Structure 1
């Protein structure tokens, strides 16, 4: 059996094991990154993995162990920023996201995870980072904790009023977490560490942010209004169809008002995505042993947050 270490992950270490050179029989072994239990609920990850698998949205899960898990390798290409802009691909991404969002929970709908995560990360930053005398960069290169607490409070007050539905979300749909199978003409999402119930518009806005890439971040690649409206129309058509099918209905028509509403929601929730991953980057910078410049990444997300804030707050919901 041949092992192959994957290098694209920035949270965990991932290895593929296979006999067939084409990796048709490959299995993946993922070992959790150091201190990732600070911001990943492993019980919730496993539960969401199983739910997604039951709805044909995830690979087979073979086993779990103390600091990782083993699962089926999905055949296809991990996408990059150049791929997610292509209409034939982003239509598939929109459909797959709608498919996950249309999965219904049993019983009462859980609260969105966004605010819990932001406050949890803030608490970790207060207790684990600011007490370290060896972190002068935190004083000079990132906003103060007081400013960040004010931003989180402002986001919660503003975004909670937008009326975005609470749905099952991936919450981390960067390009490399999308596997495109060209021969079968579909995409699948991988890595469910951050999956859970959240605002529909957060999942979409977060994905739009990821058009900029991770290793070489370029926010000029953030999708234009026209591209977003195309993407959102495909998404809404799929979401309505899939939701109505589960309730015994048919396809739904997307109105201009619905489209514009989701456009405003997604772009405003994209702000929360920037802040969340900036916090995450600072925590990872403290603990991760993976070769990635987390501090630089956090600074870029903070910078883009404040730049985008002045633009998206001018967007108004349609009447």
Structure 2
């Protein structure tokens, strides 16, 4: 009998596990969902921004700089559209943290779960978001605290993207690895903005024991670095 278990935060740093996750993510991005293939990340951020404005106290509006975020979304969208040329659009998970990845204890096969935020987006964004999630460990006494020193360095990012591209069965060109690595780096900003807004809203509507405000502060701090 096979048993699946979710990964731990430390598992994402394991080379073999990371290789399997990269291949599974490539497979996931190839899923064909009937209907439009429109990129949704920017419209979702604008929708969340409207919600944040309607929920926030004047103090929170000021602290999080909510009134400045609309311009940032616009600038970032157009900057990434112009600079990430010929970017691949795929069906993205958009929340590939360790708790949404399961592994079969017998075969080591990877399964991606929880499609709440899934939509078509640039695959570089999904990869960038996965890298950002390596800063998180939601099974500690302070699950809202993010440690960005745990995010993969250039060598680890290169290996992940090489494994991602080579999982199709062909050795990727070095230029293709470099381009996707570069694009993922740029989309890191979009990930911070996206989840920063999520944290603001969640602090008002969710009642679980999690410091959403502090989580947002950390994501926005990374954005403004």
State the TM-score, normalized to the length of structure 2: 0.91
- Aligned position for 2:90: 167
Runs of 5+ consecutive residues of structure 1 not aligned to the other structure: 1-23, 25-73, 242-250, 308-319
Counterpart among 222, 230, 243 of residue 151 in structure 2: 222
Is 1:177 the counterpart of 2:177? The answer is no
Counterpart among 118, 121, 135 of residue 195 in structure 1: 118
Is 1:142 the counterpart of 2:64? The answer is yes
- Aligned position for 1:114: 41
- Distance in 2 (CA, whole Å) between partners of 1:105 and 1:191 is 16
Bigger relative contact order, structure 1 or 2, given CA contacts below 8 A and separation 6+? Answer: 2
Higher relative strand content: 1
Residue 148 of structure 1, CA deviation:
1.0
SS of corresponding position for 1:188: strand
After alignment, is 147-156 or 75-84 more displaced? 75-84
Corresponding pairs, count: 217
SS of corresponding position for 1:127: helix
Higher relative helix content: 2
Residue 237 of structure 1, CA deviation:
0.9
Residue 106 of structure 1, CA deviation:
4.5
Is 1:93 the counterpart of 2:16? The answer is no
- Distance in 1 (CA, whole Å) between partners of 2:3 and 2:148 is 29
- Distance in 1 (CA, whole Å) between partners of 2:61 and 2:54 is 13
- Aligned position for 1:205: 128
- Aligned position for 2:9: 81
1:1-319 alignment, distance < 5 Å: 75-106=3-34, 109-129=36-56, 132=57, 136-139=59-62, 141-145=63-67, 147-161=68-82, 162=84, 163-213=86-136, 214=138, 215=143, 216-238=145-167, 241=168, 251-307=169-225
- Distance in 2 (CA, whole Å) between partners of 1:232 and 1:151 is 28
Larger radius of gyration: 1
Cα gap change, 1:106 to 1:286, in 2 (>3 Å): closer
